[in-house]
Structure 1
Amino acid sequence: MPLFTVVIPLFNKEKFIAATLKSVLDQSYTDFEIIVIDDASTDRSYCVAAALDSTKIKIIKHSFNQGLSATRNTGIKNANAPYIAFLDADDLWDSNFLEEIARLINQFPEAHLFATNYLEIYSNSVALAPEVGLKNTNTNFVVTDFFEASLAQPIYCPSSWCVQKDVFKTTGLYNPKITFAEDIDFNIRANYYFKLAYSTQACVRYRMVSENQITHAPITNKILPDLDVYENWGKEKPSLKKYLDFNRYIFAKMYQIEHNLSEFSRLKNAIDPDANVSGLNYKQRLLLNASPLLLVAIKKIKRFWVQKGIRFTSY
């Protein structure tokens, strides 16, 4: 039995999947299997993946499109290893990613979640490290408070983390009803119950611009995580309450840009008006009350500068 199962959801990524799979096959740590789940792709994604000649690769094909959460769940259910590492079909691992995760597993036996830092790839010449809230200066450590550390950009991306398989017995699987920000919902459950071991080494290249990048699509017709479900947890853990309100702030701005005033108002009103409780800084509170035109203009300006390697944030 391998130590790792690498789960790769695949949907219409024919231009990227070969390089993604090669980045796994080139790992310095070789005790792994790969499960690719093709979610009824309409391009040549399945054929490209199937053309790679490796006994480590198993491909499961959905007969109809079921969405990202259900696709990941298929991989989890078919995994043979005690640790499951997730990789999106357009991202790349550096050759030492699994080696670094294995080091975390050995170094921190109290942890059940494992992750590394990552680089955001905007073009062949622009790669930016995320703006995160971690204050520990060690290379490897157990994150003291995931929710407090995540009030900026995510400290790990969907392709830079690994979960002990037994975790799913406690947390449940990914929620297949959610069609946007599925990771936020699962991150809440996983990090509420379990400890996260983390490496500051950026071992993953996370593509920010690729075909069918869901984060660029409108959210009005998407199903978002129901953050209200976790409010009781937030009452006992103030940092989680901040994390919930921070994500309400992110989603509310997106709805405001799309002129979806009902969902914008619902989320805005759910944010605690006390800044000490919500954790929102003054810039974020100003943006929450900005007009759609101003938010669109700010978004365009930020997109222009990030393509040049310069990032402006409200964090």
Structure 2
Amino acid sequence: MADPLISVVIPAYNHERFVGAAVESVLEQSYSDLELIVVDDGSTDRTGDVVRSFTDPRLRYYHQENQDAFNTINRGISLARGRYLAILNSDDVFVRNRLERLLAICREHDFVCLFSDVVPIDDGGNEFTDPAFGWNRWHRDNRSFYFACGDLYTGFLHGNFMVTTSNLFMTADAARQVGPFSPLRYLHDYDFIFRMLLAFPERVGYAADEKLLYYRIHGGNTLSEAAIKGREQDRELIRKYVLAKIPEAWRGYVAAGSDRLVTLERELTEVRRSLQPPAAQGVRLALRTLGKAVQVWVKKKWTDKPGGSER
């Protein structure tokens, strides 16, 4: 077969419920000169069976021991033969004309990297339409900041309005120049777009008026240790890419000042917490305080009884 124009890489892991829809959304694209590379990152469910059930000759399936998402994406890209690359996480879905539209925009504006707006969906494929929904408010704020400043790099310092690796469409040459995805479990896409912007400051585009990707937000997503780790990585990335835009002679001043601001914010939070009454310091502390009060009351009631004694 002749080399396809577009290579789509799906890093797949334990998404037997969703990977079929992801694969279909690629194979049913309005632009058909493509190959689909699915790299199964050691799934323990039926993800591999679902992918292998497709018989389209444009699909290639690979299985590996679990190596995390960034390594899986890097392997998929290394196997790609197309002049353009797209990534699709195994629980997200392409709009049917996504590749056709992004290819046309790239050619028209000489972009080497492009992303679009997205549609948030739940596990059942239903769109989150409530403007008050937390993710919608977060994404709206990031987009509004970008529209106000008009600069992609500045916009990304405020927040990742690209949202996900599934939203990346780029030339293979640009991807090779930027280099592989970094070993960041939660923010490898965020790091990658900053490096792309630094390498090609005038050739990265945002199709802000076109929603060409369904981005799945799982109902089971809750605050956890990942929320802390993700924010720690976020903090380090912002520091790194703010400094990357500062002339080298000034970086020491900016680094010292920004680090001090972070420390002061942490210290202020601790001082405010220490000055608050116990009930305002959180439910757990309030419950502990209540528990101690109950113990004191019971102890007093026991010792106040006729013939009672403290034990």
For residue 152 of structure 2, the aligned residue among 134, 142, 146 is: 146
In structure 2, the partner of 1:184 is: 190
Does the residue aligned with 2:31 lie in a helix, a strand or coil? Answer: coil
Counterparts in 2 of 1:54-69, with a 5 A limit?
Answer: 54-62=56-64, 64-69=65-70
For residue 224 of structure 1, the aligned residue among 233, 237, 253 is: 233
For residue 21 of structure 1, the aligned residue among 16, 20, 23 is: 23
Counterparts in 2 of 1:1-315, with a 5 A limit?
Answer: 1-62=3-64, 64-109=65-110, 111-122=111-122, 124=126, 126-127=128-129, 130-131=139-140, 132=143, 133-135=145-147, 145-150=151-156, 151-176=158-183, 178-194=184-200, 195-199=203-207, 200-209=209-218, 217-219=224-226, 224=233, 226-227=236-237, 228-230=239-241, 232-236=243-247, 269=260, 271=262
Q: Distance in 2 between matches of 1:206 and 1:158?
A: 10
**Partner deviation per Cα, 1:122-149 (whole Å, 9 max, x = no partner):** 462524663113429xxxxxx9621222
Report the CA distance shift for 1:233/1:288 in structure 2 as closer, same or farther (over 3 A).
Answer: farther
Q: Distance in 2 between matches of 1:76 and 1:294?
A: 51
Q: Distance in 2 between matches of 1:188 and 1:216?
A: 26
| Residues 287, 295 of structure 1: 8 Å contact kept | no
Return the letter of the residue paired with 2:92. Answer: D
User: Normalized against structure 2, the TM-score is what?
Assistant: 0.68
Identical pairs, percent: 25
Return the letter of the residue paired with 1:209. Answer: H
How many aligned residue pairs are there? 247
Return the letter of the residue paired with 2:118. Answer: Y
Report the CA distance shift for 1:218/1:272 in structure 2 as closer, same or farther (over 3 A).
Answer: closer
Return the letter of the residue paired with 1:2. Answer: P
Q: Which moved more, 1:123-132 or 1:34-43?
A: 123-132
Report the CA distance shift for 1:96/1:148 in structure 2 as closer, same or farther (over 3 A).
Answer: same
Return the letter of the residue paired with 2:114. Answer: F
Report the CA distance shift for 1:91/1:125 in structure 2 as closer, same or farther (over 3 A).
Answer: closer
Return the letter of the residue paired with 1:114. Answer: L
Does the residue aligned with 1:135 lie in a helix, a strand or coil? Answer: helix
Does the residue aligned with 1:170 lie in a helix, a strand or coil? Answer: helix
Report the CA distance shift for 1:97/1:166 in structure 2 as closer, same or farther (over 3 A).
Answer: same
Q: Distance in 1 between matches of 2:23 and 2:121?
A: 18
- The structure with more helix, counted as a fraction of residues: 2
Unaligned runs of 5+ in 1: 137-142, 238-243, 246-266, 275-285, 298-315
1:21 is displaced (CA, Å) by 0.7
Q: Highest Rg: 1 or 2?
A: 2
Q: Distance in 2 between matches of 1:47 and 1:74?
A: 20
| Residues 268, 288 of structure 1: 8 Å contact kept | no
Return the letter of the residue paired with 1:157. Answer: T
1:166 is displaced (CA, Å) by 1.2
**Partner deviation per Cα, 1:32-63 (whole Å, 9 max, x = no partner):** 1000000011111011111111111101111x
**Partner deviation per Cα, 1:269-315 (whole Å, 9 max, x = no partner):** 464989xxxxxxxxxxx999986x99999xxxxxxxxxxxxxxxxxx
Return the letter of the residue paired with 2:182. Answer: N
**Partner deviation per Cα, 1:223-257 (whole Å, 9 max, x = no partner):** 836435445313149xxxxxx99xxxxxxxxxxxx
